[in-house]
Structures are given as C-alpha cells and as structure tokens.
Structure 1
C-alpha cells in the first residue's frame, strides 16, 4: 500500500511543469574583521556558468536575490580588493537559501587580474594552515552512513576513523578519542551525545542536530593557538540564525527520531529572529516491529535547541542560544527466562543508565571599527551520568521435551551491585579580538575561562556475594578553574604565502597544573597551477577526564585520599607537512605526513601495560591504581585524499592512510595502542539524477576497509574474580581482529512543490551485514560453567535508517 501511494505521489509530481522559484539571501563580510562589505556583488550562476540573477550587498552587507529557479547553482561573490568566492548552493521550494559569505582581502594592491578564490574545503578560521577542513551541513546529509552527525561525517576524512559502529567516537591519527574537543560559539562544551559515559567524547546518538548548525571547521593536528585542552582534534561549530524574513517549518519522522524545527522573524519591525527545534526518539516503534536495533533494550532520548538573534547598531549582533538532551536505557537480565545466545553477551546484571547534558549562552559580536572585531560569549553547561546495577543470581532448569533438552532460567536473588551519579556544572566565557593592522598583518588574542563545580558519588559491593557490604569509590564536591589565554599573529607575505605564529597557555587549579608557553606555527604557499604546500607544528596539552581526579582510596588511618588529584596535563608535540593540487574541474589531490610525540601520559605507578592512551571509546569507565605522568607515545603516518567536489550532480571522496601508533606504559615496553589499525581507506561517492526541475533522486555509497582492532590474551583467573575481561600485561595488544569492512548505501528522493519540499531518505548501514569484530566480552556459560567465559562482541549489523521530511514556508513578514 505504501508503495502504491508513493508511486501515485511521484506520478502526480512528474506531470506538473510550472517553474518554481525561491529567494536566496545572505550576508557578505571580511573574513578577518567580520566588517560588512557594502557593495559586494553576488551573482547566481547555473551549471554552465550562465548568469541567472544578481544583487549587491547593502550597508549591512546583506543581500537578497528573489525568484531564483530551484536546483543547484553557484554563488559568485566579488568585491574590489578582495579574492572572489565561488560557493555552491542548493535552492529548494520549501525553504529560503540563506548563506554567509566571507571574503579575504588581497595582501597587496595590483593592477594584474589574478583569480585566487578560496578553495571549497578552506577552513573558516583564517589562522588555520594545515590539517584543517571546513565541512558543510549539506555534507552531513549527503554522505552515506553519516546519519546527519558531524562526527560520523568527519570519519570520512583521511586520518580519521570510527571506533565503534554503534557510537560516534572518532580516532584522529591513532590518538584516543579522549583527545577530541567540542567547541560551540567560542566556548568548550561537554560531550554533546546521548548515553555519554563520563570522560568520553562520543556516544550512540548525537545531540547536535545538523539543521541547527552552520558551516563549521574540523582540525586534526597542529591547530591554531586559540584552541587548547586537546591532543587530537577540534570541532569548532557555528550555530545558524533563524530566517529574518519569513516563518518556516521543518518536520521529520524517521528511525533516529521525530523532530520539528521552526524559525522566522520575531517582529515585523526588526531583523531579530528565532529558531527552535526539538526531537524525541522513535526507536521503540521499530522494536515493536521486531527490527533489531543493536541492543536488546529500547533507548529513550530527546533533545532540543534554540537561538534568538538580535541585530544591534553598527553591525553588532547579540544572540541567546542553548541546546541539550536527556537519555535513558534499561537493560533487564532478570526478566529473561529463556536461554538464548543473546543472553550470553548481556552479562550478569540489570543495568539502568541515564544521562543529561545542557549548554547555553549569550554571544555578542561587533566590528568595533573597520579593523577590529570583538567576539564574546558567556555560557553555562551541565552534564550528568547516572547508573545503577543489580546483580542477578540465576540457576538453569533442564527438562526433556519430545526427546530434546529444554532450558529455563530461574532468578534466585537480585540485589544492588553498584551505583553512581557524576555531575559537572560549568560557567564558561570566551573573549577574543581580531585586529587587522594592515593588509598584511592580522593579530588575534583573547582567553577562555571556565569555573567547574564537580559532584561525584559512587559505591560498589566489596564482595558480590554479600548484599549489604558497600564501599565508596567517589564522594567528592568541589570547585576548579581552567584558564586559557592565547595570542596569534598572521603575516600575509603575499597573496600566495601566509605565516601564522601563536602562543597558548593553560592552567588547571584542581591539580595546580601549568602549561606556561605552547608555541604554534603554520605556513602555506600557493604556487601556480593550483599547487599548494603547507606546514604546521605546535605543542599541546590536555586535562584528564574529570572523574579520575576525584577517585579516592582509604589510607592506613581510614581517611579518603584523592590518589590522582595531582595528575599533570597530558602533552604532545605535533609536526605536519602537506601538498595539495587543485584542478579547474573542482577536483583536488592532497597528501599529508605527520609525526606526534606524546608525553606526560598517565600510567599506573606499579609497572604495567596500562596507559590513558588506550582509554576513551565505548561505555566502560576504568579504575586504575594511583596514576603518574610517566607514559609516552608516538603516532606517525601518511594520508592521501582524492576529492571531486559536489558542484553539479556528482561527487566522490577517496581517502587512505597508513600509520603506526605506539605507546609505553609504566613497564617501559613499547606496544601497539588499542587504535593501531595501521591502515584505513574510504570511498564515498554520490550522484544526483534530476528527473525534471521539481524532482530529484540521489544515490550514494560509502565503502570502508581498515585494519582490525587490537586486543591481547585474557587472564581467565583474574577475569573470573572481577567478572569482567582482564588482559595479560605480558602480551597486551599483540593480537588483532580481522580487517574491518563495511558498505553503506543511501537513497534520497526530493520533490519541490510550490511552497513545500518533500524529502524521503533511506540510509542502509552495513548493507552486506558484515559481522565485524569489536571486542571480547566476559560471558560465562550457564550450560557449561567450565567453558572459557569469553564471547566475541561484533559491530553493528545491517541497519536500515529511513526518514521523511517536509519543509514549507508560512509567510513573509509584513514590512
């Protein structure tokens, strides 16, 4: 029936031939000072570069081009003394296309006409020279398998891997996911994912909704001085403004949730705008239909976001924004009475787990004059992880039915095993100034400051066989501050050569840790015929997961002692060099080599293979002995990229990386890190088929082939004692799972009616149902207690993700 309705809907659409148009609006500004560029010329070009329409920016740098035919076009923007910009846009009927265009002033005045437009992948941050890339929100929707998630989208880049199909933790150049920093509107934010374990940076479902984001930057190494408290990567995310001219609505129903988004002008007399969105999970519907979703329990989650934007005099902008989400899941073992293979992998306990995260702030941006720009954000955030486990003791009854054995599980006893609640509240601020001394010299300076309040509580049974003998592992309340001043200088030696230098400093009061001076440097040189070479280096430092600082043990007098409170920063030195060749056919070839030296990594005081280098992915916390900053590590490799930009109807991205990732624990033995897969390759390709001016079908695929995860030999006796996997130190990470392979397929249909856009998408994740291995799990057998208590835990199997979305405009505000 559904297929008949869809075919009828498609047939009606194909018989309609009236031309449909939509407005294209936006703002043009200097990329370094944010000063509006009054008089900038914006032209809409078709696929064959034919001029369709055009407009000029007004005194506020804003422009509007009405009645642009729907479809794919290019915006060409020019302004005297600035490098031109060519930006692809997709115009749909249900929503206005709104863009922000930044132009770069030429370093020298010349009468020679030289076209040196900014590359499509060029980062928004003009201080970035290497290992950085701008990603558009359109890309998070276009790439197969990305699930509209910035982190999963970034896993397509060379040097970036996903750690787990069911989560979006990412491994950047062999580093732990712990090294990733999330930043929004200039301030650092907590882990923006549902079901986020304390100290981690990823999760199964992102709270960040791409419909709420603007184009943003992703950094992988040797990032500019304004970024600190990170060793591997940085997501610098921007939030978009709501439509200032008309009210618009987006509704979506799909596997990952049911969501609504509303935006528009706050009044008819100003250019103030609102944007609000909310989402709630719909996975329980699929559970009722018997579709496996990667877990025996039904996850529940919801999230929301908003932004209010108020234009001020002389180009100023004031915005109030926020986002957050809550999630919960119950994994019940005690309810199961039948023996199944699924039961073996679920453990021996009922688990109740919930998380919450919220962040909000006030952002003020203003050009103080034609050379200086101020950006200030004052924000607050909250995160909570709460868990409760009940141990289950069960027996197995065996009966003979029709000559065959039948099993039934009986629950003998059930009592609490452990429980914890971790809460962190932060007050944060960011202040920065961009000052253009002249065409050649730009400085940027400022600081980030953070006040933390931590509340950590955790207790667990001393002996799982005794129901009321608990011990406290965490019992802490306290404050801490994190301060990060920075200074950067950019010298435009010529229109083709840039030098960037900067200093970053960092102080954390909890451990009284200082990183007095962290120098950063970058250089790039654009040669003729699209060739470019670049270089970057820098020192970086990072705090440890907060809950590790407050883990306590009792001394000989019975007093609680925070054994890890004095941990210093983890530190690293990054060096990278690269080459890029751009072609007129919207293609590029890029290569980068890098080396990273990591030091001051926390390891156990007692000689062992443990290192914080290996932590950060998955759902497990860890409980190490007293930690000292004596571990080291190294990552080095080469990355290759071949990309065809999606400027018309076709794109592809081919990436490959060869790398080595090693570390030393306190036993001073070099070993493979958990993330040393040694190689990773990706092929992402997509094609749009324009049926007519209103109807489009898009097909895309992603193929990933990479080395398998590292693991070692299991200490069976120790594992049985603590009832979880314990690996032998002597051969830790000497083994490797078979290579990883996954193929995703995405199909999308879009219909543009007069004022409405309909979109139906189907993302077939792991379409070949490849059973990739993830880890070993502790799984004692109820039928054979003498068997080795181990089971292989596989990655996510075949997962169909669909959605239906509708965009429509309500009305234009009265003027």
Structure 2
C-alpha cells in the first residue's frame, strides 16, 4: 500500500521536465448571419500574463494557435465595426481546445463605440431578452451533484428545482415538469432520459451526454417565438462537431457508466469530421462478471450518439446526427422473503420496465449572404415505454427460533396484473431563415412540422382481479404544426426590442392556437446596469397517451373521453435587473407572473388538475376531462454569481414563490410543487500544483420548502389497495423542508500525450433524510393502523469516475 501511495505522491509532485503544449482553434462568425469574419484579430493571454499569442482568421473565418502551453487563457476576438468578445479557455494535453466565437455588429461603426460584448454566460439565441441562461459543458462538469446532466445542472438556477433526487425532472417556477421542452438542432426531442415514464420529461439517468454538447441555452419563461409547445422551460441543445485535424479519444469508467468517445477528421482537406460515442451501465457489467453489488434489481442501460459534419462551398455545412438509448429493469419482489414495511402494499408485485428512444437527423446550414442565414433539419424519432406487473399472493410464516418469534414472507401464487406498450414514431422538419435587414433590424421566420404515428396498448385486471380491462388500444397518425416569425429592433447600442408571433395546431384533438404574441425589451445602461422585460402567450399539447385512454361502460360501449382535449395555455411576464461588475461577477434579479388556463380537470367537481402531473414514475388514468382549470405562479428570484475564469467560482441563488391552482370544484389550492422557497449556494476552487497537475474542489448546499400532500382516506385506500387521499383536503399539508449538501473533488494530471482525470462526486454527503412522498403500506401486525409509509429521497451516494483523453498525433515538446 505504501508503494502505491508513494507513486501517487511522485506523480503529483512531478517537476516540469518538458513543456507540454496543445492547439487552440476555432472560428469567428457574425452572430446573426453566421457569415465568417475574415481577418478577425485574436489574442490568447495566459492567466498570469506570461504567455501572449496573437493570430488572425483565414478566408473561412478559422484560426489556430499552435504549441500553446497547457494552462488557463483569456481568448479575445476583435473585428472592425463589431463588439469585442472575450472568453476563458482551459488548455489540457489530451485534446485540442476548440472555441467558436460569434461577434455582434455595432450599430455605429466608429471605433469609439466598439465596446466589449459576449459577457460570461451570454446565450446563443439573440432574440431572447429575459429569463434565459447559457449552460456550458464546463458547468455540467464542475458543479457538485450535477452528474454531468444538463437538467440537474439547470436545477442550480434561480427558479428551477429538482422534483426528485433519484430523477432529473425539473420544476420551473412552480410548473409541472410536463411543461419542459427538449430541442436539438431545431427539432423537438423525445424525452432524452433512461427509464422515462410516458408523458414525463425526465428520468433517473440522462441519455444526453455532455461530451457531445456545445454551449446551449435554457429558457424559463417569455421565450421567443422560435419555441412552442411548452408552458414552462426550454432546453435548446447544440451538438458540437468532431475535430477536423486530429483523431482524439476519450475513455471513462465510473459509477454511472463505462463510455468511449472518438472524433477526428474524415477528410482533412475538406475539413469533414466525425464524432461517435457510446456508454453502457457499469452496474450491469459488474453483474455480468458475478460481482455482488448489493441489489438484484440492477438497472441495465446503454446509449450512444454521433455527428458527422461535411463542410460545403461558401460556408455551407451538412450534418448527420443521432442520439439514442435503451434501458431495462426487473424488480422481483417474489424473490424477497424478508419482512418489510411495504411487503403487502406497493411491493405486492414483480415489475418489469423498459424504455427506448432514438433520433436520427440531417441538418443543412448555409449563410446565403453576409446578411442571410438558412437552416433546416429533417429527423426521424422513435420512443417506447413498456411494462408488465405480476401480482403476488403472499402470506406470512411465523416460527420460533431460540425463543424468539420470527417472520418470513411466502409467495403462494403469481399472475399477471397489467401490461402496456406505448410506441411513437415521429418525423420532424424544422426550417428557418434569419435575415439581417440592416444593423438595426433582424427578422427570423420558420416552421416546425411534426408527424406522429402512435401505437398504444394497455390492459389491466379490474379491482376484483377477475377480468382484464383494455385501457389503451389505439393506432393512428396526427400532426403538430408550428409556424413562427420573430423580429428584433436594435434601437441603439444600449437598447433592444423584440416581437414575434407563434402559431400552433394539433390534428388529433383539432386544437388551434392561432396567434401567440411574444415581446421583449432590454436596456443596457452605464456601469454594467441592465433592465429587461418580456411577456408572451404560450400553449402546449397534453402527453399523447392521455388522448388515447379509453373506458368501457356496463353495456360494453368503449369511448375515448379525452381525445378532444385542448391545449393548456398560459401567459408569461417577467421584469429583470442585472448589475455586472469586473472579474466576471454579476447580480441578477427577476420578478415574474404566470397565469395558466385551459388546464384539463375532472368534468365533475373535484380537486384534480393535470397541473400536478408529470413527476415520478406514475401514469394516471382520468375520467372525462374538460379544459376549465386555472393556475398561477408568481415570485421573485435573485442570483449572485462569480463565473469561473481563473481559479474560483461561486453562485448563490434564491427564490420566493407561490404556485396555486383551481380544479373543477373552484377551490384555490397549493400545487404539488409549491414549496414557497428554494436556496442554492455553490462554490469551487481550482488549485494548480504545478504545470501538469491541478486539483479542483467544489460544494453545493440546497435548501427548499417541502412537497405538498394531503390526508389519506383510510377506508377507500383499504378497498382499492392503493393510496386514496381525501379530495376536500388535497395538498393542505407539507413535508418538512428539504436540505442537501454535495461535494465534488477532481484531480487532473497532464502527461505528454494523455490527460488523466479522477473525480468523486459525493451526493447528499450528510445522508439527510428528505421525504419524497407517501406510499401504501398496510401494517402486518396492526390492520387498523393508517396504511402509509414515508418514501425518502436519495441518501448518501458516492459517484466516482476515471477519465482519460488522448490523441494519435505527435506533439512537439
């Protein structure tokens, strides 16, 4: 053991025997037309200012700094009549650093107004003025508890909360996770998570891997007209291209998966490239090797992604991309004999559950001129959820051992309780044209077309367990059509105004939203002060499986009650203030109000509303619904952030909010997600040991109000063998406040050809017991007791990984 520790110490304290260098390269383009800016000047300055390198872009807007010593640098790009852009770049030995820069044209072309733009965290979509954030690959890697997951990373933002520690569903400003929209390369993406329940937008493990992502945008409300079919938030994801000059590789082994990535040139002369990666669940590998991991219910999952890029003449590009994954788990309660609190409750069945999704697409991008840019994406998607539950008839055996009475559970018989398979095939087309009329006026127009071919089948035993009832039996095609127009008026160098119209039509329910206006305004004052505002109308279709639910009455007639459900609709408004300081420090505050209406509720008087659905693994089976429910969300948010630029970062976020709704009974209640407050504090420090070694450490503290719940109707619960809450007292109680502390430590070693990274993410390091929900659990010893048990959030979870980056090309020393 001593020899191993000595070896590690020697590696850490290794002196600089030879200078290790790497390449920093990228492109500089106009932010609106994507036209390459030829002759842009670039400077690369090390954090200690000892290294200063200069370069210019070529005829394709490309630049390349060769033989850059590893370390941290500030990359600055300038171009006549454009605002200067500056960004932080980390240079490691294992792979090249690729930075693509978008410059914003000045309204006045004199040198005196050539102010610094592109502040840290600035979003890609120039039409957004408020409630929008950029998230980068570096952030998803650096933040404790984020697990490299974009959704979990976004839960650090003010106004965004995770609904469940074991899943990445997120609640945006009190809205159901159903309201979230995932987009990639312009098209709407099926739920990109493993073990994704029908109608949900999250899951336990993300299929999306941050290693294939470029810097992307996250919107929280009042988003531009580009985005539709969402009333909550939007992830607008960008996929990066592979390296066009070197073949580079990444291998990673960790708790969440074992993965490999390869990228490099297809044709160096034509600058075409490939990027391919795959991942498989590490726990499944352990199980296959007969290594005991403490549980028989091992989740099996695998995922992959690829992108091929083919540059065309005059700045055009053709891209082929794909993202997909599949997951499966078998929870066999029948093999358990130990007495547990839920053995005769929700643990009364064996469960088999599997999901799959895939999207393959073709993207074409072309700067038609210096003022016009065209983009189109054609994609085919598939997603599937399937499950089978086998019911267990069980009894309790008692025996006396050494004078003590012991209990064991015996399974007497097993029979199928339910089963379903939901499949959706979707063909999607996105096209947009961005035209810069002049330096002050920009217009964007486009359309999203989605064609759904849906196959839903589901049946289950009735309450008496004597006959199967068909709950879904549907096969058909429907269309979702979304045209939009968005306009931006740059009033002057300090003020922008945006306006747009989005329309939406869904053929299955014949739902129309003819015109959804969106407006935004931003005023950049002196000394780093900025005021923003935005408002807009938004709508969203219901999860597709809810349209196909059917019921059969006593006479044998079958009817799909909810196939004509209309869109849920909302009005968003927000007002924000931001103060930017030197050294990448900023303070940002927003107040918002959202009114929701047309929400599906029961046709008879009750507290039920679709506003509370969308988190966890549960589907629901409604009676006839009508679009008569309402809701409102309002609150105030504060963010104080020091972006990581040299060796330190921190972010403190806080929100105070209310989230209310009315069901068909007209009574105002708390939504399930109304915790009233949420606070996050994150901080991290990077320590440079020498020119080859560094250690990073960071932590995250989260505190939030507890989830809402009600009182159990004991009599109805015992009849139905599942929890039934008293309707009149729904969501009148609240679990205790949520608290969690996460810690992450990473060590990076750069050698001549490799970059090694070892990471340990300690989730819920204090093992705090946070209540998630109640579950049905009748007492084995006291049948008259209230048949409930508390279900807790994730306990302490150490997540480790080892990653190595390397390239095949030789490098100078």
How does 1:434-449 map onto structure 2 within 5 Å? 434-449=434-449
Q: Which moved more, 1:752-761 or 1:718-727?
A: 718-727
* Residue 465 of structure 1: how far off its partner (Å): 3.8
Question: Relative to structure 1, is the Cα distance of residues 107 and 683 closer, same or farther in structure 2, using a 3 angstrom cutoff?
Answer: same
* Residue 107 of structure 1: how far off its partner (Å): 1.6
Contact 1:761 1:804 in 2 (8 A): yes
Task: State the distance in 2 between where 1:770 and 1:91 align.
Answer: 38
| Residue matched to 2:752 | 754
Equivalent pairs counted in the alignment come to 808
What TM-score, normalized by structure 2, do the two folds share?
0.97
| Residue matched to 1:479 | 477
Contact 2:682 2:698 in 1 (8 A): yes
Task: State the distance in 2 between where 1:214 and 1:812 align.
Answer: 26
Once the two structures are superposed, residues 725-767 of structure 1 have per-residue CA deviations (whole angstroms, 9 ceiling, x without a partner) of 1111111101000000000000000000011000000000000
Task: State the distance in 2 between where 1:502 and 1:350 align.
Answer: 51
* Residue 784 of structure 1: how far off its partner (Å): 3.4
| Residue matched to 2:548 | 550
Task: State the distance in 2 between where 1:346 and 1:285 align.
Answer: 29
* Residue 336 of structure 1: how far off its partner (Å): 1.1
* Residue 554 of structure 1: how far off its partner (Å): 2.4
| Residue matched to 1:152 | 152
1:179 aligns with 2:179: yes
1:206 aligns with 2:206: yes
Once the two structures are superposed, residues 641-698 of structure 1 have per-residue CA deviations (whole angstroms, 9 ceiling, x without a partner) of 0000100000000000000000000000000000000000000100000000100000
Contact 2:15 2:690 in 1 (8 A): no
Give SS of 2:482's match: strand
Give SS of 2:358's match: strand
| Residue matched to 1:232 | 232
Task: State the distance in 2 between where 1:209 and 1:344 align.
Answer: 39
Contact 2:342 2:777 in 1 (8 A): no
How does 1:235-254 map onto structure 2 within 5 Å? 235-254=235-254
Task: State the distance in 2 between where 1:13 and 1:178 align.
Answer: 47
Question: Relative to structure 1, is the Cα distance of residues 495 and 345 closer, same or farther in structure 2, using a 3 angstrom cutoff?
Answer: farther
Give SS of 2:228's match: coil
How does 1:717-732 map onto structure 2 within 5 Å? 717-732=715-730
Contact 2:674 2:707 in 1 (8 A): yes
Task: State the distance in 2 between where 1:7 and 1:222 align.
Answer: 57
Contact 2:341 2:779 in 1 (8 A): no
Contact 2:342 2:776 in 1 (8 A): no
**Which of 753, 762, 765 is equivalent to 1:764?**
762
Task: State the distance in 1 between where 2:162 and 2:78 align.
Answer: 40
* Residue 553 of structure 1: how far off its partner (Å): 1.4
How does 1:103-502 map onto structure 2 within 5 Å? 103-284=103-284, 297-341=297-341, 343=343, 347-466=347-466, 469-502=467-500
| Residue matched to 2:512 | 514
* Residue 558 of structure 1: how far off its partner (Å): 2.5
Task: State the distance in 2 between where 1:311 and 1:552 align.
Answer: 50
Task: State the distance in 2 between where 1:364 and 1:311 align.
Answer: 10
Give SS of 1:266's match: strand
Contact 1:246 1:812 in 2 (8 A): no
* Residue 121 of structure 1: how far off its partner (Å): 1.4
What TM-score, normalized by structure 1, do the two folds share?
0.97
* Residue 290 of structure 1: how far off its partner (Å): 6.4
* Residue 10 of structure 1: how far off its partner (Å): 4.2
| Residue matched to 2:101 | 101
Q: Gaps (5+ residues) in structure 2?
A: none
| Residue matched to 2:62 | 62
Question: Relative to structure 1, is the Cα distance of residues 760 and 49 closer, same or farther in structure 2, using a 3 angstrom cutoff?
Answer: same
Contact 2:81 2:111 in 1 (8 A): no
Task: State the distance in 1 between where 2:498 and 2:46 align.
Answer: 37
* Residue 250 of structure 1: how far off its partner (Å): 0.2
* Residue 453 of structure 1: how far off its partner (Å): 0.4
| Residue matched to 1:706 | 704
Task: State the distance in 2 between where 1:341 and 1:804 align.
Answer: 38
**Which of 740, 745, 750 is equivalent to 1:742?**
740
* Residue 65 of structure 1: how far off its partner (Å): 0.4
| Residue matched to 2:82 | 82
Contact 1:333 1:346 in 2 (8 A): no
Contact 2:283 2:293 in 1 (8 A): no
* Residue 71 of structure 1: how far off its partner (Å): 1.2
Give SS of 2:4's match: helix
| Residue matched to 1:634 | 632
Question: Relative to structure 1, is the Cα distance of residues 96 and 418 closer, same or farther in structure 2, using a 3 angstrom cutoff?
Answer: same
| Residue matched to 2:563 | 565
* Residue 779 of structure 1: how far off its partner (Å): 1.4
* Residue 267 of structure 1: how far off its partner (Å): 2.5
Task: State the distance in 1 between where 2:156 and 2:615 align.
Answer: 18
| Residue matched to 2:521 | 523
Q: Gaps (5+ residues) in structure 1?
A: none
* Residue 463 of structure 1: how far off its partner (Å): 3.4
Give SS of 2:772's match: strand
Give SS of 2:717's match: helix
* Residue 789 of structure 1: how far off its partner (Å): 1.5
Q: CA RMSD in A?
A: 1.5
Give SS of 2:134's match: strand
Question: Relative to structure 1, is the Cα distance of residues 92 and 456 closer, same or farther in structure 2, using a 3 angstrom cutoff?
Answer: same
Question: Relative to structure 1, is the Cα distance of residues 494 and 49 closer, same or farther in structure 2, using a 3 angstrom cutoff?
Answer: farther
**Which of 663, 669, 672 is equivalent to 2:670?**
672
Contact 1:183 1:236 in 2 (8 A): yes
Task: State the distance in 1 between where 2:618 and 2:6 align.
Answer: 47
Task: State the distance in 2 between where 1:338 and 1:427 align.
Answer: 49
| Residue matched to 1:791 | 789
| Residue matched to 2:29 | 29
* Residue 268 of structure 1: how far off its partner (Å): 3.8
Task: State the distance in 2 between where 1:777 and 1:620 align.
Answer: 12
